[in-house]
Structure 1
Amino acid sequence: MNKLTTVLITLLFLSFHAYPQRDQAPQGPGSLAFWENLSKLCGKSFEGEMLNASENDQFYGKKLVMHVRTCEDGKITIPFHVGDDHSRTWVLTMEEGNVIKLKHDHRHEDGSEDRVTQYGGISSNTGMARLQFFPADQETTDLIPYAATNIWWITLDDTTFSYNLRRINNDSSINVKFDLTREVETPPTPWGWED
């Protein structure tokens, strides 16, 4: 057997075993596996870092902590603490058809809602167990017209959770990566929420 044949057989073998075959695909929609894996983090807090922060960024130089605070039937809340600012909470809800909705709940320190709140999107399909996309919904477009092209996405695996935002036709993005291998102290109750 010549070298070329050996290389081709090796590549064929590796490609066959590196990717699951169709009949080995996970059963059920990816959104349910994603939801189940995220629910396993309930009650835990993790520190994160901006992957592309500049000195002009509002998150620059601040401690970033996510806390998977509640996991109710069909709803998961994740406060995102930025230093001493406890105004942000990501709210994920499971919609009919097994798609996930992401909303951003913004509050003032007195608990009242910010003028810009409840924006986000609904996944366009059931997505994948480790990745969910959320294109801006109509409520977001009505509230913040320039955010009509926003796409948020969350990745989740055994060691990291990432929150990401990209606006189509704009080079800027937000990418925050959290280390799931090390729990941190639970932050204070987010503004406007009760224990």
Structure 2
Amino acid sequence: MRKTLVFAFVLLAFQTFGQQQGSAHSGSDQFWEQLKTHCGKSYEGALTSATPNDTFTGKKLVMHVRSCDEENVIRIPFFVGDDRSRTWVLTKRDNGTIELKHDHRHEDGSPDKVTMYGGTSPNTGSAKLQYFPADQETTDLIDYAATNVWWITLDENSFSYNLRRVVNDNHFSVKFDLTEEVDTPAAPWGAE
């Protein structure tokens, strides 16, 4: 019961934060335009919170805002050391919401059996925060991920990617410094 109340409070806080907007443009529009200013750039990050089964500690973490196409899709490969298997795929929908999917590939470019999971923001969020509760496709693919909530924060100095599974206290977070570009790694596995 306590975890359910905490989850409800977290979602309410995200929705309230997402509804606080200071201009005529929706939060998702502002977030999207700000993220697009980083297209083509790469940034190094650091873990700010890790899960007990963490395999990222001690590895170089780099994000590359690789493509921002006219179809309202932004692809952000996330490199963990030499592992180029992960790409965050953000898609802006006509209703103002944003979808987050995780594209996982093998070194030969073929899709991993666990790929394209994620969720869609339930509202337009804010210019600095978008969150994504797990969708039905994710639940069908990874039953234990049904309670996942991902969120991305963005401001002029930083980008963070976060994951919490509501049924436990584990939280994963990596924060990237947007004030200093780094060399772009090789293309992610499976990139055209």
Per the normalisation by structure 1, the TM-score is 0.85
How far residue 57 of structure 1 moved from its aligned partner, in angstroms, is 1.2
Deviations 1:45-78 (A, max 9, x none): 0000001237851101000000000000200000
Deviations 1:98-157 (A, max 9, x none): 100000000000000000000000000000000001000000000001100100000000
CA contact under 8 A between 1:54 and 1:60: conserved in structure 2?
no
CA contact under 8 A between 2:150 and 2:161: conserved in structure 1?
yes
Match in the other structure for 1:44 = 41
CA contact under 8 A between 2:51 and 2:171: conserved in structure 1?
no
| C-alpha separation in 1, matches of 2:88 and 2:187 | 14
CA contact under 8 A between 2:101 and 2:116: conserved in structure 1?
yes
Distance change in 2, residues 1:69/1:44 (3 Å): same
Q: Give the number of the structure with larger relative contact order, counting CA–CA contacts within 8 Å between residues 6 or more apart.
A: 2
2:138 counterpart of 1:140: yes
Unaligned runs of 5+ residues in structure 2 are: 1-19
| Count of aligned pairs | 172
Match in the other structure for 2:113 = 115
One-letter amino acid matched to 2:141: L
Which residue, 83, 86, 89 being the options, matches 1:88? Answer: 86
Superposition RMSD on alpha carbons, in Å? Answer: 1.4
Match in the other structure for 2:158 = 160
Identity of counterpart residues, as a percentage? Answer: 65
| C-alpha separation in 2, matches of 1:52 and 1:38 | 23
Which residue, 65, 75, 79 being the options, matches 1:68? Answer: 65
| C-alpha separation in 2, matches of 1:161 and 1:127 | 16
CA contact under 8 A between 2:163 and 2:172: conserved in structure 1?
yes
**Which structure: larger Rg?**
1
